[in-house]
Amino acid sequence: MESDRLRLVPATLAALVALLLPPLSSADEPDWRSLDELAKGHVRRAAPPDNETTDAPADSPVPSHESTLGGSRGEAEARHVNPFRAPAPPKPWNVSLILEGQFDTNAVAPTEIIAPGAIDLVGTWLMTTVLSGGYEFRPNDDLEIHLDALWYAEYHDRYAKFDLDSVKFSPWAQWWLTPMLSVGVKGAGTWQTLGGEPLLSVLEGGPFATYAEGDWTQTTLAYAYKNKEYDFETLPNPLDPDSSRHTVSISQDVLLPETSWIASLSYALSAVDADGSDYDCDLHLVTLSIGGPLALGVKTSFETSLLVAPFHHDNLLSFPPFTEDREDKVMRFTVRLERAIMEHLSVYGYAMHMDNDSTLRAYTYDREMYGFGLVLYW
């Protein structure tokens, strides 16, 4: 009996902390779906990598190209053709609107503090709205300047305190040194509210470079710095989630020969330096995705990823407190289908499974999400 009561202490402590703190989007692990991912796949032009430990999704648009795949690098250079570079759009601006219904089996899983049993496996329906727009300026054939903006909102049928609003601005530029080689820089600012109250501000940016080795492969290297500031009263260490993050990433895109399918393999390493010792960690993320057209105008994508996050310090929620390090291993699987039903309107659906296996029970959870929606694009 005494041992059973002792085992309940971490769960009780976690529940108390969760009640005292509002839910946070995780400062020490990547969100399962970034704001940019919600709009990607519906904007018909290329975009640089997010330089995040969440990388480009499998449902990113497949670049259209007329050439037969499999040519040599020299042949591609001679033709001045890069199948991964989007052509100049007919108009410099684009706008898209996404309306999505979603069921989340574990709505509080992505919080900083997860109380086992007490708030785990809280399912809810929610409505998501994403309005995004962009303007592209090409002063010459070698330079692209983009100004992108995005508003994201999600509203729950239960737990209004989890209703989230986000605004993001993302300027970026890309210089083509040769038809196959480019360098660029990207910045972004994000501001979020949760339950109508200010939650988080994020500033980030960094350089990237892309190189197409031929008609069917491209390598991208990127670095990003990110600073997160939560709008809380001063929290004692180790619970302060404010952090800075350095991320380096490499990705390889492959256009599958004789098809319009594209596959991508990426690795990202992040070093997170948080004000609270519970959130200091390293992030190792490997992502594999593949996507392309099926029959009857249907497009599909599959993505799987593994995140390994070793933390640097003994954790408050270990028992006894501060006696055990935390390490998370997060597996994620996503499948998506989309079909255009008229010129500027598409429908889509997806399913996602996530499993977080942590050395600390307080951070272990499973999660499924199922969504369907409409995309309007201009």
Distance between CA atoms of residues 7 and 331, nearest Å: 27
The per-residue pLDDT for 109 is: 63
Residue 346 has what pLDDT? 97
Domain 2-377 has what CATH class? mainly beta
What is the dihedral angle through the alpha carbons of 348, 261, 184, 222, rounded to the nearest 10 degrees? Answer: 90
Stretch among 68-72, 90-94, 184-188, 332-336 having the lowest mean pLDDT: 68-72
Place 287 in a pLDDT band, splitting at 50, 70 and 90.
very high
Read off the tokens for 373: 């929606």
Return the sign of the alpha-carbon dihedral for residues 49, 55, 59, 62: positive
| Helix boundaries (H) for the chain | 2-20, 35-39, 73-79
Q: Which pLDDT tens digit goes with each residue over 92-136?
A: 999 999 999 999 988 766 454 334 444 456 688 999 999 999 999
Report for 27-41, 176-190, 229-243: range of highest mean pLDDT = 176-190
pLDDT computed for residue 258 by the predictor: 86
For residue 65, what pLDDT band results from cuts at 50, 70 and 90? very low
Q: What is the percent of the chain where pLDDT is above 70? A: 73
Burial class (CB in 10 A: 0-12, 13-18, 19+), 78: exposed
pLDDT of amino acid 67:
32
Eight-class DSSP state of 48: -
155-159, 170-174, 370-374, range with the lowest pLDDT: 155-159
Taking every pair of Cα atoms in the chain, the longest distance, rounded to a whole number of angstroms, is 77
Helix (H, G, I), strand (E, B) or coil at 336: strand
Between residues 75 and 228, which one has the greater pLDDT? 228
Q: Which amino acid is at 58?
A: A
Q: What CA–CA distances, in Å, run from 160 to 165, 195, 353?
A: 12, 6, 24
CA distance 190 to 192: 7
- pLDDT, greater one: 248 or 78: 248
Specify the 3-state DSSP secondary structure of 163: coil
Q: How many CA atoms lie within 13 A of 113 on its CB side?
A: 26
Q: What are φ and ψ of residue 294, in 5° steps?
A: -110, -160
Q: What is the pLDDT of residue 121?
A: 60
Q: Of the ranges 58-72, 150-164, 211-225, which one carries the lowest mean pLDDT score? A: 58-72
Closest C-alpha to 163, from 152, 148, 172: 152
Q: Which of 6, 28, 12 is nearest to 226 (CA)?
A: 28
How far is 25 from 194, CA to CA, in rounded Å?
10
Q: What is the mean pLDDT of residues 229-237?
A: 77
d(C-alpha 166, C-alpha 151), whole Å: 6
Residues 6+ apart with CB under 8 A from 3: none
- The pLDDT assigned to 165 comes to 95
Angle 229-233-238 from CA coordinates, rounded to 5°: 75
Task: Name the pLDDT band for 83 (thresholds 50, 70, 90).
Answer: confident
**What is the C-alpha separation between 121 and 103, in angstroms, rounded?**
12
**C-alpha 335: how far from chain center:** 15
Of 147, 39, 143, the C-alpha closest to 99 is 39
Per-residue pLDDT at 158? 79
Q: What is the pLDDT of residue 316?
A: 80
- Reported pTM: 0.80
Identify the weakest region by mean pLDDT among 25-34, 129-138, 252-261, 272-281.
25-34
Q: How far apart are CA 282 and CA 328, in angstroms?
A: 11
Mark residue 159 as left, alpha or beta (left: phi above 0; alpha: psi -120 to 50; beta: remaining): left
Say if residue 145 is exposed, middle or buried (CB neighbours under 10 Å; 0-12, 13-18, 19+): middle
List, for residues 14-62, the tens digit of each pLDDT value.
Answer: 433 433 343 333 333 334 334 444 444 433 334 444 544 433 223 333 3
